[in-house]
Amino acid sequence: EPEVTQTPSHQVTQMGQEVILRCVPISNHLYFYWYRQILGQKVEFLVSFYNNEISEKSEIFDDQFSVERPDGSNFTLKIRSTKLEDSAMYFCASSDPPVGQGGDYTFGSGTRLTVV
Amino acid sequence: LAKTTQPISMDSYEGQEVNITCSHNNIATNDYITWYQQFPSQGPRFIIQGYKTKVTNEVASLFIPADRKSSTLSLPRVSLSDTAVYYCLFTGGGNKLTFGTGTQLKVEL
């Protein structure tokens, strides 16, 4: 079964540092997403990406966040100047077609980001 | 904004059938109903999706009445490994998924 792969599985960073979370979506998927889940809370949408641009973003996805598809396989989330409250599980997902048209999402296993 | 309501938690025993009902009074015409499962420290995993009537796959069944104001996820003969959080979601009119708090299912021996 095809998988969405995320690296690293766990990242510890100092407050104020930049982190890049990496994802390899399913190869024939065209829609990509980032979600986060703070410990004990809901899974929250951050951003969706299609055709090399952001198609939708939430209020959480402010100027400290950015996404990129640097090549044909990777999809990255960059967090500039991390804050303590950025500590969470970050999930990448991909789909094709977009889920609203009956398609399903496939989520990765997540990156646990701990900001100290 | 469309909203789903489901029980916060349910308990069951191995071998029993578990039915989790989700209410969604203001579901839109183009919304599908999708259920996800999440284990601790893992990403949500797609279980089943439907629009109306009944859908069955290898792991679950989904029952949706004609008015589509609710749906029921049915897990036959649960085992300890089915202990997880189960989310009922709308998927329609956009790309993002909006997760609620889900139903924590606990399966015991």
- Kindly report the average pLDDT of chain A as a whole number: 92
pLDDT(A13) > 90: yes
Write the pLDDT tens digit of every residue in B56-93.
Answer: 999 999 999 999 999 999 999 999 999 999 999 887 66
Tell me the C-alpha to C-alpha distance, in Å, between residue A7 and each of A4, A17, A54, A103, B73: 10, 18, 21, 25, 33
**CA angle, B8 as apex, B6 and B12 as ends, to 5°?**
100
- Best mutation target among A99, A106, A107 (most B Cβ atoms within 10 Å) is A99
Would residue B1 count as lying in a domain? no
The answer as to whether B2 is a domain residue is: no
Among chain B residues, the shortest Cα distance to A34 is held by B96
**Residue B98: inside a domain, yes or no?**
yes
Inform me whether the pLDDT recorded for B2 exceeds 70: no
Check residue B28 and give its pLDDT: 84
Count of structural domains within chain B: 1
A108 touches chain B (CB under 8 A): yes
Nearest chain A residue to B35 by CA distance is: A104
The residue extents of the domains of chain A are 5-98+106-115
pLDDT of residue B3: 81
Q: What is the CATH number of the domain that holds B63?
A: 2.60.40.10
Interchain contact B32–A (C-beta under 8 A): yes
pLDDT band with cut points at 50, 70 and 90 for residue A2: confident
pLDDT over 90 percentage in chain A: 80
Is the residue at B60 inside a domain? Answer: yes
- Chain-centre distance of CA A67, in angstroms? 8
CATH class of A5-98+106-115: mainly beta
Q: Is residue B55 part of a domain?
A: yes
CA distance B85 to chain A (A): 11
The range of the structural domain enclosing residue B33 comes to 9-108
The confidence score (pLDDT) of residue B62 equals 97
pLDDT in tens, B4-41: 899 999 999 999 999 999 998 888 888 889 999 999 98
pLDDT tens readout for residues A21-72: 999 999 989 899 999 999 999 999 999 999 999 999 999 999 999 999 988 7
Return d(Cα B73, Cα A45) in angstroms, integer. Answer: 24
Q: Do B46 and A106 lie within an 8 Å CB cutoff?
A: yes
Is the link from the previous residue into A25 a cis peptide, with omega within 30 of 0?
Answer: no
Chain A contact for B101 (CB, 8 A cutoff) = yes
CA distance, residue B104 to nearest chain A CA (Å): 12
Q: Contact A42/B93, CB-based, under 8 Å?
A: no
pLDDT above 90: residue A105: no
Task: Answer yes or no: is B44 within a domain.
Answer: yes
Contacts of A55 in chain B (CB under 8 A): 95
